[in-house]
Structure 1
Amino acid sequence: MSENPYQAPVPPPLPANQYAGEPLVFRSTKEERNRGPEGLGGWLILPMIGLALTVLKILGYFGNQVAPMVADGTYALLTTPGSEHYHPLWWPLLLLEGGGNGVLLVMALVAICLYFMRSRWFPRLHITFMLTNAVLMLVLFFFGAKIPALMEAHDAQAVSDMTRGLVGAAIWVPYMLTSKRVRNTFRPR
């Protein structure tokens, strides 16, 4: 016993694998406890929201811009040699923009399906989607700057779209490559 009557008594030490005299029982292995988060939650929800909004935006683009342009003859006016607003780069630019958006639409729809299936292909497709989108935005911006009518109209919206594509790729590509949640959720089964 100690010399100090005011000091609490010190209980005898317990073995390392016991607590209050009871043996410790772990319901999961050390690897399972240290694996990290899993599932379609957390920050992984944001790429899904982005893909869904991209699908809506591209469908709106085709419905509100492409269809009226073809229906009212604007497309023919821009791409027919000898017309008032003709420029030789209009046709490749419109084809690249329409075709690129069509490819992005298909990629986004497939990525949404792979996301909910928890397929191991989702992170790869999402990375490809983000890089394709960023490259398409850059190409369309600089290609459109070669057409005099568009050079005047290169407004803040075009710069904003291009910046959004680049920043999105800069954020989500590293996330898909390094996130424990992505690795645990979309692993091969």
Structure 2
Amino acid sequence: MAFKNISRKSYVGFGGWLVLFAASLFVQFIRLLLSTLDNYSIIKSDEFKRITDPDSEYYNSSLYPSLIVDTTLSLVICIMIIFIIYFCVRHSIWFKKLSVIYIISSFIIQCLTLFWLLGIHFLPEEFYEEINIYQGVISSFAYMLIWLPYLLISKRVKNTFA
């Protein structure tokens, strides 16, 4: 049995692990769009108006600006994902660069969101028990550990997006 000589061309194009990375981008894009719509509905709700009213006992001055920043960053990441997909289709060198920026910035945003949540003192303890506020940071860190080395070392990425 002769071994097949694997040439450079076998590691070119959209395939292999790159398909999983693209699928994760699609899932993240949908999640961010849904999060942005949730934030918009929260901003328009009566409860939110009460919380952001300076005369309310539950008033927190950082809540409104934080939600606006979170929504804006989600939209920026969505736009970044659209550009990543565009550069992937065009086989541009910018795919790799923008993907690395996306992965790192997503992790930083998750860390900032965690610090923001920990800084809100008026939230009931049940809030912290019902959700895992560390989940975003942990999953973003794992995502970074998996995909950053892949994008920087992969033969397919080097050959396709050079």
- What is the TM-score normalised by the length of structure 2? 0.86
In the alignment, is the contact (CA less than 8 A) between 1:38 and 1:185 conserved in 2?
yes
**C-alpha deviations, 1:22-42, integer Å up to 9, x for none?**
xxxxxxxx9x93576111100
Structure-2 change in CA distance of 1:142 and 1:151 (3 Å): farther
Does structure 1 residue 105 correspond to structure 2 residue 78?
A: yes
TM-superposed CA distance for 1:72, in Å, is 2.1
TM-superposed CA distance for 1:158, in Å, is 2.4
Aligned residue for 1:16?
A: none
User: Which contiguous aligned blocks of 4+ residues in structure 1 show a shift greater than 4 angstroms?
Assistant: none
Structure-2 change in CA distance of 1:37 and 1:147 (3 Å): same
- Structure with greater helix share of residues: 2
- 1:27-176 to 2 correspondence within 5 Å? 33=7, 37-63=11-37, 65-150=38-123, 152=125, 153-155=127-129, 156-176=131-151
Aligned to 2:71, the other structure's residue is in SS state helix
* Unaligned 5+ runs, structure 1: 1-29
Moved more, 46-55 or 84-93: 84-93
Once residues 133 and 146 of structure 1 are traced to their aligned partners in structure 2, the CA distance between those partners, rounded to angstroms, is 20
* Unaligned 5+ runs, structure 2: none
Once residues 74 and 95 of structure 2 are traced to their aligned partners in structure 1, the CA distance between those partners, rounded to angstroms, is 19
Structure-2 change in CA distance of 1:109 and 1:34 (3 Å): closer
* One-letter amino acid matched to 1:157: N
